[in-house]
């Protein structure tokens, strides 16, 4: 039997999908217990909630009577007596309001879909409902803001309505200002900002907060740049199906993923694949920042600004300071939705960790993917290990189709167009892959040697593999031209 409690509307208790028939006090009891699923709620707290400060003569007995009625109405309900009160032994997932709390920032659309109307609508004359109902209404708005980050003309009707309902909620007003600007209605955008600024001043004596100021600045600076174009890989991509799934999963459930692994394992290449997939399947922005050439931690924020196409738009002629660049980045991403890829972070881990933490806190629509040989080590970071490609045994029937073999063969053919994987060459090829530990960069460098050496010679010389792999492709990044780099 599965029990679900729905609090985001009139209270409904479902047993295997069907609503149970419960009186008002029974619903109040279950609603109060479901605020803390799996936790004991004291008799005092329950009496207070159900009778609202005007308890009957023998409150514990009266409560016991309500409990008995509930148990009769829903046999098998996991409602247990446990000193000093009762507990409803359900997982958080069984209560819609708990799911709203868990999903509001990670999956805003799913969180909003749980909403059926005013929370606890049938119990609003009981005082205990006020605080949770207000909190859930707030979470619903947080989810809406998160979903609407980066909104444009298509979302304007919804934003108009939301702002009419919550005229002084700066997050929503900022989204509407930017959406008007994106829709080409810059005058309206500035007027909307001005109207809210005046109301804040007159009604609350406040100046606009950071979100609203950032929106106004973005409009004034005319920056809603076209998306930077991701580079296209010039060579084939092989394997990494499980890693791609894992990254998608971690990015759906969180906001920071680090592809972690040794040099040449394929972290950057995997990140590029993720970025392309994301660009193809969403309308979100995708920004790629290559950090290998950035030598100094203090250059990091300015380098990111440049890479996301914002340096030219700043009014600063000189190189911005760390603080200026950091503030500009928060403005730039405050109201955008998208994926920021920070590639090759290992030599700047501390600076990247600080900047990422800062941006994720300030910019609710942003998710970050980093590639690094070292973890950032900040809260919320999901690590996805990127190791060598698996090397099958020679007698494995699928060996010729293994990702390592295909990768090596793809690169071998550009060095030697006559190269083919045959039953005769396969064992030797697998031997080479094994000696190179299935590391993609090493495989590519070895395959490049086929221009001058045969496969057998390569295999034979692999004992001195570092010397063998020095040289090869001239366009490889300097840091990757040999394995020592
Ligand atoms: N799955 C793959 N399919 C095809 N080629 C790959 C794959 N993984 C890596 N490569 C190739 O191997 C080489 C090294 O990969 P990459 O630069 O992504 O490694 P990395 O882990 O980022 O290394 P570093 O730590 O030095 O930055 C690149 O030329 C890349 O194109
Ligand atoms: Mg890399």
**Residue written as token pair 């060459």:** 425
Beta strands in 282-440, from DSSP E residues, in sequence order? 285-290, 338-343, 366-372, 381-385
Cα Rg, the chain, nearest whole Å: 29
Ligand 1 within 6 A of 477 CB? no
Model confidence at 228, in pLDDT bands (50, 70, 90)? low
Mutation pick for ligand 1 pocket among 236, 237, 268, 384 (CB with most ligand atoms within 8 Å): 268
Ligand 1 within 6 A of 441 CB? yes
Q: What is the pLDDT of residues 239-258, one digit of tens each?
A: 899 999 999 999 988 999 99
Instruction: State mean pLDDT over 117-144.
Output: 95
CA-CA-CA-CA torsion for 368, 373, 375, 376, nearest 10 degrees? Answer: -60
Instruction: State mean pLDDT over 96-105.
Output: 91
pLDDT greater at residue 222 or residue 376: 376
Q: What is the pLDDT of residues 355-375, one digit of tens each?
A: 999 999 999 889 999 999 999
CB 344 within 8 A of CB 373: no
Nearest ligand 1 atom to the CA of 371 is 22
Instruction: State mean pLDDT over 81-97.
Output: 96
Top-level class of domain 241-385: alpha beta
SS3 of residue 372 by DSSP: strand
Ligand 1 within 6 A of 388 CB? no
Ligand 2 ion local residues (Cβ < 5 A):
267-268, 344
Mutation pick for ligand 1 pocket among 266, 352, 373, 385 (CB with most ligand atoms within 8 Å): 266
Separation of 259 CA from ligand 2 center, angstroms?
A: 9
CB 448 within 8 A of CB 415: yes
What is 149-220's CATH topology?
1.25.40
Separation of 373 CA from ligand 2 center, angstroms?
A: 8
Question: Is the confidence at residue 482, as pLDDT, over 70?
Answer: no
Q: What is the pLDDT of residues 183-199, one digit of tens each?
A: 888 889 999 999 999 99
Ligand 1 within 6 A of 172 CB? no
Structurally, at CATH architecture level, domain 3-141 sits in Orthogonal Bundle (1.10)
CB 284 within 8 A of CB 278: yes
Q: Minimal CA–CA distance to 468: which of 478, 450, 63, 476?
A: 450
Parse the chain into domains and list their residue ranges: 3-141, 149-220, 241-385, 399-480
Q: What is the pLDDT of residues 309-318, one digit of tens each?
A: 665 444 444 5
270: its two tokens = 């995997």
Atom 8, ligand 1: which residue's CA is nearest? 266
Model confidence at 433, in pLDDT bands (50, 70, 90)? very high
Phi then psi for residue 323, to 5 deg, are -70, -45
Residue 326 is predicted with a pLDDT of: 86
Ligand 1 within 6 A of 267 CB? yes
Residue 85 is predicted with a pLDDT of: 96
Question: Is the confidence at residue 381, as pLDDT, over 60?
Answer: yes
């Amino acid at each position: 039997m599965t029990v679900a409690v729905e609090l985001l509307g009139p209270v409904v208790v479902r047993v295997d999908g069907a609503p149970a028939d419960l009186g008002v006090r029974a619903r109040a009891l279950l609603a109060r217990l479901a605020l803390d699923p799996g936790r004991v709620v004291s008799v005092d707290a329950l009496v207070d909630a159900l009778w609202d400060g005007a308890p009957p003569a023998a409150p514990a007995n009266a409560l016991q009577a309500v409990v008995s009625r509930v148990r009769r109405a829903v046999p098998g309900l996991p409602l247990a007596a446990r000193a000093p009160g009762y507990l409803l032994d359900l997982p958080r997932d069984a209560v819609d309001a708990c799911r709203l709390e868990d999903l509001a920032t990670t999956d805003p659309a799913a969180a909003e879909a749980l909403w059926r109307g005013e929370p606890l609508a049938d119990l609003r004359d009981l005082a205990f409902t006020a605080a949770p109902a207000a909190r859930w209404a707030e979470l619903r708005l947080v989810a809406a803001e998160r979903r609407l980050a980066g909104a444009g003309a298509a979302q304007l009707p919804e934003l108009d309505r939301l702002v009419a309902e919550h005229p002084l909620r700066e997050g929503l007003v900022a989204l509407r200002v930017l959406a008007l600007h994106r829709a080409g209605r810059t005058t309206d955008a500035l007027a909307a900002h001005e109207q809210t600024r005046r109301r804040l001043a007159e009604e609350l004596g406040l100046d606009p907060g950071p979100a609203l100021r950032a929106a106004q600045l973005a409009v004034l600076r005319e920056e809603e740049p076209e998306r930077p174009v991701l580079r296209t890989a010039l060579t084939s991509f092989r394997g990494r199906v499980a890693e791609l799934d894992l990254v998608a999963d971690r990015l759906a459930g969180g906001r920071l993923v680090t592809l972690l692994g040794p040099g040449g394992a394929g972290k950057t290449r995997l990140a590029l694949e993720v970025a392309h997939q994301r660009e193809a399947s969403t309308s979100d922005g995708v920004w790629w920042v290559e950090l290998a050439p950035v030598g100094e931690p203090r250059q990091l924020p300015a380098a990111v600004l440049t890479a996301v196409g914002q340096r030219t738009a700043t009014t600063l002629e000189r190189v911005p300071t760390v603080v200026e660049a950091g503030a500009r980045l928060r403005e730039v991403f405050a109201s955008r939705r998208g994926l920021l890829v920070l590639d090759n972070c290992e030599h700047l881990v501390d600076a990247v960790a600080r900047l990422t933490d800062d941006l994720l806190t300030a910019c609710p629509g942003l998710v970050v993917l980093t590639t690094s040989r070292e973890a950032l080590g900040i809260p919320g970071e999901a690590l996805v290990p990127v190791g060598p490609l698996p090397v099958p045994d020679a007698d494995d029937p699928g060996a010729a189709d293994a990702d390592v073999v295909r990768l090596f063969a793809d690169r071998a053919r550009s060095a030697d167009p006559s190269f083919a994987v045959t039953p005769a060459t396969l064992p030797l090829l697998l031997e080479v892959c094994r000696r190179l530990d299935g590391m993609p960069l090493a495989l590519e460098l070895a395959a490049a040697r086929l221009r001058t050496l045969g496969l057998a010679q390569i295999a034979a010389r692999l004992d001195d593999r570092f010397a063998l792999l020095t040289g090869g492709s001239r366009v490889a990044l300097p840091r990757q031209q040999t394995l020592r780099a």
